[in-house]
């Protein structure tokens, strides 16, 4: 089930921060914490999971940090949601065998349809589009006007 949790919200904000402020320059987690106000205890495990799923690249060393693993136009919100959903520990109530016939035959199928529609919309929304929205909103960023990059 898609739920907007703190972890998911922070993951989206962190990846967008990296896309908007990083470009070719790695972004340190401390910079993300400072700009976005995301506590490090939430941020680090999420960033590592995003590296494992090849959404981010982790760069080691004194000038290290995080960069996008692909172009901004090739990373969707759906990619981020799927990655963070794997970290969630709450049980999905859709799979709970308890419930009525109305719940199992009507409500749950409708809910699944809505989730599928939401994932289609999230898959269609890229970091490139969100960076464009941030730029048009006047939010300052290091890579705001640089556009996408090629690897």
CB 57 within 8 A of CB 51: yes
CB 69 within 8 A of CB 24: no
The pTM assigned to this predicted structure is 0.86
The architecture (CATH level 2) of 6-136 comes to Orthogonal Bundle (1.10)
CB 81 within 8 A of CB 122: yes
pLDDT-above-90 percentage for the chain: 67
The pLDDT assigned to 150 comes to 45
**pLDDT tens, 124-147?**
999 999 999 999 999 988 765 555
Average pLDDT of the chain? Answer: 88
pLDDT above 70 for 84: yes
Domains in the chain: boundaries: 6-136
Cα(45)–Cα(40) distance, integer angstroms: 9
**pLDDT tens, 4-46?**
888 999 999 999 999 999 877 899 999 999 999 999 888 999 9
């Amino acid at each position: 089930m898609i739920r907007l949790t703190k972890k998911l919200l922070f993951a989206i904000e962190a990846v967008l921060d990296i896309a908007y402020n990083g470009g070719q320059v790695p972004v340190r987690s401390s910079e993300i914490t400072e700009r976005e106000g995301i506590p490090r205890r939430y941020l680090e495990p999420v960033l590592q999971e995003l590296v494992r799923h090849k959404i981010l690249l982790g760069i080691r060393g004194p000038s290290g940090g995080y960069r996008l693993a692909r172009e901004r136009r090739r990373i969707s919100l759906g990619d981020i949601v799927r990655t963070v959903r794997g970290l969630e520990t709450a049980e999905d109530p859709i799979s709970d065998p308890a419930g009525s016939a109305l719940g199992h035959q009507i409500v749950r199928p409708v809910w699944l349809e809505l989730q599928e529609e939401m994932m289609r919309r999230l898959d269609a929304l890229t970091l490139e589009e969100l960076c464009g929205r941030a730029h048009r909103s006047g939010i300052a960023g290091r890579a705001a006007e640089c556009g996408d990059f090629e690897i």
